[in-house]
Every structure is written in structure tokens, then in C-alpha cells.
Structure 1
Amino acid sequence: MNVFYEESGSFKVGTVLADNTTSLQVEAIHGKRSKIKAASVLLRFETPALNDFMDLAQKIADELDPDFLWECCAQDTEFESESLATDYFGHKPDPVEAAATLILLHSAPMYFYKKGKGRYKAAPPDALKAAIASQEKKRLLAELKTRYTEQLCTGKLPEEFKANIAQLLYKPDKNSIEWKALEAASTQAKQSVLSILENCGAIPSTHDYHYHRFLWEHFPNGIDFSETDRQLIPDNLDDLPTADVAAFSIDDASTTEIDDAFSITPLKLGSFRIGIHIAAPALGIQPNTPLDKTAAGRLSTVYIPGKKITMLPDTAIDYYTLGENRSCPAVSLYLDVADDYTVTHIENRIEKINIVKNLRHDTLETYFNERTLNKELTDQPFLKELRILWHFACKMESLRGKSNDANNDKIDYSFDVENDHVTIKARRRGSPIDKVVSELMIFANTEWGRQLAETNIAGIYRAQGNSKVKMTTSPAPHQGLGVAQYAWISSPMRRYVDLINQRQLVAMIRGETPPYARDSDDLLIAMQDFETAHSIYSDFQRSMEYYWCLRWLLQENIQTINAQVIKENLVKFEPIPLVMRIPSLPNVAPDTYVKLEIQSIDLLECNIQAKFVEKLDS
């Protein structure tokens, strides 16, 4: 005796070896023996032979039309499969015909709902219609996926992808047919999805891929300013007095947001007055105006090699920047300084400043550096004033306890990108230019932070304790700088917290009620949002500098390069700011120089593979 039975949702046949009423022991065609429940047996048969039964039943099942059977069966009640087979074949079905009917019913769940052992019910017409439509949709999607996959594998971007390419690149819907086709093409071609898209021309520029991903995530509405933002309504600056000083700024050649400038005025008995002048957008950009809300949304200028996304529109920058040969509104801090560079008097003013010159690093470095400080050079602009400021900066650095600051041995790098060609320049931190600017800014931010605290006017401070830097609305020491408090005020066109602090400072100088109370929600929200944005922007800047380091290696066709071991297998390349781990590096002491071989560079994934070649003597 043979049986046709159901097990784990599929039909099987076997020869009965033992019948224990509630269970059977059967032997399959291939000889495997198993125990089955008697309730799972659908048919018992002697013929045809066990080896042929399933093939014969499947052949008949393939000839059955589920549409016709659905029309033949009772529509409102359950029915036995055998009764449907009797109606269809016109006679009591033999075992093969009965099994074929069961196979068809089981394989057409859209048409027939299973209700029990050998019992089914016809699907309602509306449900069947919907199921057939869904099946057809799946079939069309499968064909579409196949077409997409074939095109992608041959390096052709499907036309339908073009309108949605940004979504696919930066925030794909993993359930979409486009993404599934990309995954299938990736598997077939044994390449990453990004590589597939790059091969199809969807990523014409690796730089733009990384840049636009950042914009997609953090500037979803784009980086263009509205016409309302550009309609600058400045304060009545004609009422401001004009200072009798000749001021100059010190900035990189690419800087357009010139926030700070300096002046030197001789006084009697060898003393002099240092003016620290900060651009004053707070005089015209009032809280809760459209432009202020835009600045509060951006929070900071974003800097990356070759590009920047400004916090303020160009109309505001052009108006407030301390450009040369202009009279510019400024908040000034004047320091009366004795001939030993001791500060004897401090005064605040809100005024207009005549900017005589914008000194730029590239030209200034040629005559104002460590080698020329003591040389008799007299024909360079503002060299006398720069030397005075340098001596004053050295005195201030010493008073902060930082005269032997370890940062002076560190290297800063600048990236110049023009027509996709990158130049990476190194400059030792603590150079005369850096020291002058940094010390005067530290002095101004520290002093103005002190004044805000002493007059009980709220401000946003940068504090550091136990090597942790945080922002706070309460004045607190900054251990890294060696000052009692440090408020960011010196860059109001580039950082929103500086703009807020400048508003508070202007109110203090004028004796007015400050815009932000100490418990102001706007103050706290701006501080928290800025700290988050500053971290995101800084990380993006570092990632793009890393990218341009990789581009430099390719541009210069670097095959091998020297590197200095930092610790364990972490090294820094020379002469660029690229730090990475080298798994093949042997155990060598920190500061050891080694030679590395560049094996591969992937600009899309921002990955580089390098291996250790040899240890260098020096």
C-alpha cells in the first residue's frame, strides 16, 4: 500500500511499512524511512507505481486551468477536493487525478482558500480580482527589475533612475525596485552599489558626491539665500563716530568675512594704544528678523577645501566685512599699553573704522616671520605696527602661562583647490602671524567675557576642564587657554554665538537692556544647536581634507611615501595631514620613520590601502 500525504506544506508519497492506526511508518522513493500522522494521509493507492505517481499527478495538474475550476466550484460554501475532481473529470477520480486536483488547489491560493484536510473554499470575486492584479504587478516589477539590472551591469543608467538619483545615493528606499535592481547588479558584477552607479555615470564627480551628501543631510532646502535675506536693513550707522586710526586686517587670501582688524596709536612716554576692531553685524541684524532666523538655522560658516557655505548672504558680508579703503562699523576694544607691554587702561567703543589695508598671509609671511623679526626692514606695510603687536602677543602669551606652549611645535595645513588641482601647504603653528592674531583674539574674547560676567549680562562661553571642552552660559575657566573665562565674540559674521554675544556686548556698552536674559530659551537653544552644528561641520571639514589628501596622492602619482609612526600601527604621512593605520607595520617605536607603498585609493569610499616597505634610518 502506498500513500499520498502532506508534510510541512508540501505533498509526498511513500510505501507503508507499518500502520499503527494513528500513525504510519513509510518509506520514500529514495529509501528514507519516516513516521507520519495518519491524519496527514490524503490518498491511499496501489497503482500506479510509487516512482511514477508524482510525475503523473504533476503532469495532469499542469494541464488544469485554475480559472475554469474556480468557475466550476461552489462559490459560497466549502467543498471537498474529490467532489470538484469528480465534477471536472466526469467520473470518480482515480488516485492520480485526485492527487492532481489537490496539487492544483494547493498551488493556487489566490483562487482557493484551504479550510481543512482536502477541503477548500473559492475566493470571493473581488478578492480574486485584487489578487490577480497584484500578481500581475509583481510580474511586471520582476520584468522591470530584470531590465534595470541588465542595464546597470552593462554600464547604462536606466532613464527612470535619473530623476531620483540623489535619493538613491544618499537615502535609498531599500524596498524600491530601483534599489533591488542595484543590489542585484552589485551581486552579479561583484562591485559595490556606488561603483555600479559610478560606472553608469550617475556619479560624475567623487568630490560632488561627498559634498552633495552633506548638503542633502544638513541643507535639505539648499544653500542659496532668499531675496528677503538679501534685503539688508542696517542700523543708522551715519550716527557712529569715526575713529582717528588707520586699521589693518590679517587674513588668508580667500577670506571674505573679515571679522577683525588692528590699529596702533602712539601715546606719550613710549606708550601706545592697541585697537582691536571687530566687525559689527549686530548693529543691523536684529533678533528674530528673517536674516537672523536664517543665520540661526545655519549657525556657522562651513569651510571645506575650495568651498565654503557662509552663514550670512553676500549682501550682509559685503556691508559688514572690514574691507580695505572703507569706513566700516566696528565694536572696538582699545588697550593703553606701557612701554613694557603692560595694559594700563581698557576702553570699549562702537564706531566706524577706516580700514587702510587687508594684509594677506601669502604676502605678509615673506617679510613678517621668525627670520625677519629683528632685521632692519622699513619699506613693508605696517611692519612697525606688526612688531609691536608681536611683542605684546608674546607678553600676553607669557601671562597666560603658555610661553612654551606645545602647540607651537604643531603644523597647520592649508588646502588650495583650483580647477580640481589641490595644493597642500604646511605652516608651523605659533608663527608671528598666528601668534599676533590668536593672542589678540584671546585677549578680546577673554576681556569682553569678563565684562559681560561682571555686569551680569548673559553670554555664551567656551570652557575647558579635565580636557573636556563645552559651551556654557556661565563664565568658567578655559584650562587649555589659561584664562578665567572665554566668550566667543570675535567672529560675528561666521559664528552665530559670536553674533549673539556681540548683541549683548553692544547693549552693555550703550547701557541698554540686552536682547537675551540669563534664562532666555533662545540663548540656550542657540548654544546647544551651535555646539551640535559646529561638531558636524568640523567633522565634514576633516573628512573633505582627508579626501583631498587622497586626491593629492593620485594627482602627484605617489607610489611610495614616507610616514612617521605615532603609536602602534598608526602613522602620519609626510608631507600631508593624512593619518591612518597600517596593519602590516611591524612593532617600531613612536616617531620612527617608515616607507610605505600605496596599494589602492578609493575616492568614493574615501579608503586607502598601504603596506609597510621598510624602516628608515631618519
Structure 2
Amino acid sequence: MNVFYEESGTFKVGSVLADNMTSLHVEASHGKRSKIKASSVLLRFEVPPLYEFMHQAQQVAAELDTDFLWEYCADSEEFSSHTLAADYFGHTPSPVEVAAIMILLNSAPMYFYRKGQGRYKAAPPEALRAALASQEKKRLEAELHARYKQQLSDFSLPEEFKPHLDDLLYKPNKSTVEWKALESVCTATKLSVPKLLEKCGAIASTHDYHFNLFLREHFPDGTAFDIPDIEFAYVDHDDLPVADVSAFSIDDATTTEIDDAFSVSLLPMGSFRIGIHIAAPALGIAPGSLLDQIAAKRLSTVYLPGQKITMLPEKTIDSYTLSEARLCPALSLYLEVADDFTVTSTYSRIEKIKIIANLRHDALEQQFNENTLRKNLTNYPFAQELSLLWNFSRKMEIQRGKENDANNEKIDYSFFVEQERIIIQERRRGSPIDRVVSELMIFANTEWGKQLADAGIAGIYRSQNSGKVRMSLSPAPHQGLGVAQYAWSSSPMRRYVDLINQRQLIALLTDSTPPYSKDSDDLLISMRDFEQVYGIYNEFQRSMERYWCLRWLIQENIQITGAQVLKENLVKFDRIPLITRVSSLPDLSPGTQVKLEISQIDLLECTLNTKFLHKEHI
């Protein structure tokens, strides 16, 4: 006796060696013996021979029409495969025919639901339609997947990918067939998604790839200011007094957010008055207004070579920037200074300031520098005022204990991008221009921080202890600057912290209730958010400067360069602010000049290969 039985969802046949009522010992045609449950047996047969049974049953099953069988059974309740075989073949079915029916029913689970012991039920029409549609969808997806893989493997971008490129690059839906094909080819080629898409011609601009990656994460709604025109309305501030001074600003050539300007007025007995004038957008941007909410979300202007994302809309900046030939609202700090450059008194005012010039670094540095100061040359605009400010700045450095500050010898870099061409210029940080502007800003931020603290008005302070810089709502020393307290207040159009502090200062000067109390949640949230976001923005600026440094190396066809060892295998390139590791660098002392060979610059990954050539002999 032979049996046709089911084991683990698979049909098998075997000859019965022993029948123990509830279980059987069977032997397969290839000799393997098994113990099976009696309930697993679906058919018992003598002929055909065991070794031919499955072959004949599968041949018969291959000739059966699944759709016909489903239509025949569609209106039936649960049915037996034996009954269906008798109806289909029109006679008492042979064991092979019954087995063929079972094989067909079992292989079409969308059409027939298994009920056990050779019984089935036809799937309802709507369920079958849904299952067939799903099957067709999977078939089409499989075809798409195969085609996408082939095209991507040939480094050809499928047309269907084009509308989804941003999502695939920055925020992929990993359930899509496009992503699955892309991921599969990346695994096979050992390429990252951006590198593979670049090879397929999908990334037209490596710069835009990096920039858009940043925007996707931090400006998902775009950089435009979607607010009504009424929010941009400029307040005339006609009630403000006009100061009897003429002020000038000192900024980089590309600066449009001119936050600060200076004036110098001569007084009797060799003394003079310095005015530090800060743009006052806090006079027109009310706390909680739509414009304020946007500024509170952005928290700072984002800078990168060739462009920037401003904290405030251009119309608002135009209203408050300290542009020349205009009367501009300002928060002014006046310093009465003796002839030995000692500050004898200070006072603050809210007023309008006449801006008579916007001086720019590139032009001013040709006239106002160490050489012209040493020779006492005065044949350029504002020479007397700048000379007084220079001497005052040197006195302030001494008072702060920073007269020999090593930072003054460091090099800063300016990036200019013109029609995809990059220009990188070196500037020594401790130039007279830098030292004048920085000392006046340090004085203002220190003094206004002190005034807020003395008046018991909340403010946001920046402190430094043991090299660690942090922000807090309590005044604390800033060791790096050598001051007792420091509250950013000098860039209210570019930093939200400064805008908050300016509001508090205006309340102090007008004897009104400050917008923020010491236990204000808004103040604490703004401080914490700013500290996090400001770090992210600065890191992005550094990464884009690295990108443009690599672009400059390609542009200038630099293959051999000088560099200075910083530590271990870390070096800084000459002429540009590019720092990288050189694995082939021998053990050299920091400060050693070396020559490097450059190769394989990758603008997408922002990497390059460098090879140590030799040590420079100076």
C-alpha cells in the first residue's frame, strides 16, 4: 500500500511499512524512511508505482484550467478535492486525478483557500480581484526593478527617477522600487547613493548637492519669507532725536547687514567722545509678531562663500541697515575718553544717526594699516578718527590683558565667488581695522551686559571658563576676552540673541517693562535653540569653505602645494584654510613646512588624496 500525504505544506508519497492507526511508517522511493501522522494521509493507492505517481499527477495538474475550476466552485461552500475531481473528470477519479486536483488547488492560494484534509473553498470574487491586482503590481514592480538595476549598472539614469531625485538623495522612501533598485546597485558597485547618481549624470552641481542637503534638514520649507507686506512696513521713528554726529561703518565688501557704525567727536582739553552706533531693528520688530517668530526660528544669518541665508527679510534689513547718506535709527553707546585714552564715563541713547560713509575693508586697508600709522599719514578720509580709535583700541587691549594676543597673528580668509570662479584672499586677523572694530564691539557688548546686570534686567550672556564657551542667563567672566561679562548686542540683524538683548536694553533706556523676565521660558528656549543652531550653521560654513578650497585647487590646477604640520599627520595647506590628514607624513614637529602631492579630489565627498614629498628647508 502506498500513500499520498502532506508534510510541512508539501505533498509527498511513500510506501507503507507499518500502519499503527494514528501513525504510519513510510518509505520514500529514494529509500528515506519517515514517521507520519495518519491525519496527514490524503490518498491511499496501489497503482501507478510509487516512483511514477508524483510525475503523472503533476502532468495532469499542468493541464488543468485554474480559472475554470474557480468559476465552477465560486458559488460553492467548502468542498472536497475528491468531489471536485469527480465533477471535473466526469467519472470516479483515479488517485492520480485526485492528487492532480489537490496539487492545482494547493498551488493557487489566491483562488482557493485551504481548509485542511483535502478540503478547499473558492476565494470570493472581490478578494480574488484584489489578490490578482496585487500580483500584477508585484510583477510590474519586479520588471521595473530589473530594468532600473540594469540602467543604473550601466550608469544611465532611468527617466522615472528624475522627479524623485531630491527624495532619493536626501530623504528616501525605502519602500519604493526606485530606492530598492538604487540600493541594490550601490551594494553591487560599492558606491554611495550620491556617487552612483553622480555617475549617472543626476547631480549637475556638487555645490547645489551640499547646499540642498543643508536646506532639506534645516530649511525644509525653503528660504523665502512668506509673510504679508504689512509685516515688512518700515516704522519712521520720527519721534527719535537726531544725534549731532556723523558716523561711518567698516565692513567687508559683501556686507549688506550693516549693524554697527562709529563716530568720533573732539572735546576740550584733548578729550574726545566715541559713539558706537548699533542698528535698532528691535524698535520695529515686536516680540511675538510674525516677523519675530520667523527670526526666532532662524536664529541667525547663515554664511557660506558666495551667498547667505539672512535671519531677517531683505526689506527689513534695508529698513534698518546703517547705509550711508541716510538717517538711521540706532542704539548708541557713547564713551567719554580722556587724552590718555581712559574712559571717564559712558551713556546710551536711542536716536537717529547720520551715516556719512560705509567704508569697506578692501579699500580702507590700503590706507589704514600699520605702515600708515607708523608714518602718521593722514591723507585719507577719516584718518584722524581712525587714528584715535586705533590708540583707544590698543589701550583697551592692554586693560583686558590681550596686548600680545596670539590670535592677532592668525590668518583669516575671505571667499569671493564670481560666476563659479572662487577667489580666496588672506587677511591677517590682527590688522588695525580688525582690532579697532573688535575692541569697540567688545566694549559695547561688555558695557551693555553690565548695565543689564546692574539693573536686574534679564539678558543672554556668553562666557568662557577653562576654554569652554557657553551661553547663560547669568553674567559670568569671559576668560578668552578678559572681561567680567559679555552679552552679544552688536548684531541684532544677524543674531536673534542680539535682538533679544537689544529689546531689554531699549526697555532699560525707556524705563519700560522688559519684554523678557528672568524666568521667561521664551528667553531660555531662545538661548538653548540659538546655541545649538549657531553651532550647526558654523559647521556648515566650514564644510562649504572646505568645498570651495577643493574647487580652488582644481581651478588653479594645483598638484603640488606647501603645507604646515599642525600635529601628528594633520597639516594645513598654504594660501587656503584647508586642513587634512596625510597618512604618508613622517613624524615631524608642529610648524614644519612640507611639500605635498595632491590627487583624486572628490567634490561630492569633499575629500582628496595627499602624498608627502619632502620637508621644506627654510
Same fold at TM > 0.5: yes
Question: After superposition, what is the alpha-carbon deviation per residue over 1:369-428, rounded to whole angstroms, capped at 9, x for unaligned?
Answer: 334331232212223322222222222122222223232233222211111111122223
The answer to whether the aligner puts 1:604 opposite 2:591 as a matched pair is: no
Identical-residue share of aligned pairs (%): 66
| Residues 41-61 of structure 1: CA deviation (Å, up to 9, x unaligned) | 656667667766555544433
Deviations 1:56-80 (A, max 9, x none): 5444333322222223448554444
| C-alpha contact (below 8 Å) 2:145/2:180 kept by paired residues | yes
Cα separation, 1, equivalents of 2:559 and 2:568: 23
- The change in CA–CA distance for 1:7 and 1:252 in structure 2 (over 3 A counts) is farther
Rounded Cα–Cα distance in structure 2 between residues aligned with 1:363 and 1:194: 42
AA matched with 2:440: L
SS at match of 2:228: helix
Cα pair 1:111 1:123 within 8 Å, conserved: yes
2:115 matched residue in structure 1: 115
Residue of structure 2 in register with 1:275 after alignment: 275
Greater shift in the superposed pair: 411-420 or 426-435: 426-435
CA shift digits 1:9-67 (9 cap, x unpaired) = 444567788988846475675x8x57554455656667667766555544433332222
Counterparts of 2:484 and 2:444, CA distance in 1: 13
Distance 1:248 1:191 in 2: 54
Cross-structure match for 1:296: 296
State the distance in 1 between where 2:551 and 2:319 align: 37
Say if 2:127 is the partner of 1:127.
Answer: yes
Alpha-carbon separation, structure 1, partners of 2:330 and 2:293: 22
Aligned residues: 616
Q: What does residue 309 of structure 1 align with? A: 309
The verdict on how the C-alpha distance between 1:382 and 1:74 changes in structure 2, with shifts beyond 3 A counting, is: closer
CA shift at 1:307, angstroms? 0.4
- Write the mapping of 1:148-167 to structure 2, written as runs, cut at 5 A: 148-153=148-153, 157-167=157-167
Superposed CA deviations along residues 444-492 of structure 1, whole A, max 9, x for unmatched, are 0010010011111111111223333222222222222222211111001
Q: Which residue in 2 is equivalent to 1:367?
A: 367
Aligned residue for 1:536? 536
Tell me, in whole angstroms, the C-alpha distance in 2 between the residues paired with 1:34 and 1:549. Answer: 74
1:172 aligns with 2:180: no
Amino acid at match of 2:464: Q
Tell me: CA distance 1:101–1:585, structure 2 relative to 1, closer, same or farther (3 Å).
farther
Structure-2 change in CA distance of 1:433 and 1:95 (3 Å): farther
Deviations 1:114-164 (A, max 9, x none): 233434332223222221222222223333444444555555544444443
Note closer, same or farther for the CA distance 1:358–1:78 as it changes in structure 2 (3 Å cut): same
Contact kept? 2:170, 2:216, Cα under 8 Å: yes
Counterparts of 1:507 and 1:517, CA distance in 2: 12
- Indicate yes or no: 2:339 matched with 1:355: no
User: Offset at 1:503?
Assistant: 1.3
Does the 8 A contact of 1:234 with 1:283 survive in 2? no
Equivalent position SS for 2:245 = coil
The residue number in structure 2 matching 1:221 is: 221
Amino acid at match of 2:316: A
Q: Residue type of the partner of 1:107?
A: S
8 Å CA contact retained: 1:302, 1:310: yes
Question: Is 1:378 the counterpart of 2:391 in the alignment?
Answer: no
The TM-score normalised by the length of structure 1 is: 0.90
Tell me if structure 2 keeps the 8 A contact 1:18–1:26: no
Contact 1:229-1:294 at 8 Å conserved across structures: no
Counterpart of 1:564 in 2: which secondary structure? strand
CA drift at 1:602 = 2.4
Mapped partners of 2:69, 2:588: distance in 1: 80
The alpha carbon displacement at 1:198 in A equals: 3.1
Is residue 2:407 matched to residue 1:407? yes
- In the alignment, which residue of structure 2 is the partner of 1:461? 461
Unaligned segments of structure 1, at least 5 residues: none
SS at match of 1:384: helix
Verify the 8 A CA contact 2:231 2:290 in the aligned structure 1.
Answer: no
- Summarize the Cα distance change of 1:60–1:471 in structure 2 as closer, same or farther, 3 Å threshold: farther
1:322 matched residue in structure 2: 322
Where does 1:29-68 land on structure 2 (aligned, <5 Å)? Answer: 29=30, 35=34, 37-38=36-37, 54-68=54-68
Note closer, same or farther for the CA distance 1:38–1:431 as it changes in structure 2 (3 Å cut). Answer: same
CA-to-aligned-CA distance 1:424-443 (integer Å, 9 cap, x gap):
22223222221111111111
Check conservation: 1:75, 1:123, Cα contact below 8 A: no
In 2, the alpha carbon distance for the partners of 1:211 and 1:230 equals: 31
Q: 1:46 to 1:499 in 2, by over 3 A?
A: same
For structure 1, which segment, 285-294 or 195-204, has the greater mean C-alpha deviation from structure 2 after superposition?
195-204
1:115-264 pair list within 5 angstroms: 115-153=115-153, 157-186=157-186, 191-226=191-226, 228-229=228-229, 231-264=231-264
Whether 2:575 is the aligned partner of 1:575: answer yes
Partner secondary structure for residue 238 of structure 1 = coil
1:304 to partner: Cα distance: 0.7
- 2:233 is paired with a residue whose SS is coil
In the alignment, the residues of structure 1 paired with residue 62 and residue 599 of structure 2 have an alpha-carbon distance, to the nearest angstrom, of 58
Q: What is residue 564 of structure 2 aligned with on the other side? A: 564
C-alpha distance in structure 1 between counterparts of 2:27 and 2:610, whole Å: 63
Pair 1:133–1:511, CA change in 2 (3 A): same
Any idea what SS the aligned residue of 1:197 has?
Answer: helix
Equivalent in the alignment of 2:524: 524
Q: 1:245 to 1:6 in 2, by over 3 A?
A: same
Distance 2:14 2:532 in 1: 69
Q: Which amino acid aligns with 2:537?
A: Y
Q: Which amino acid is 1:114 matched to?
A: R
User: 1-side partners of 2:394 and 2:175: how far apart?
Assistant: 62
Code of the residue aligned with 1:447 in structure 2: it is E
The 2-side partners of 1:83 and 1:594 are apart by 91
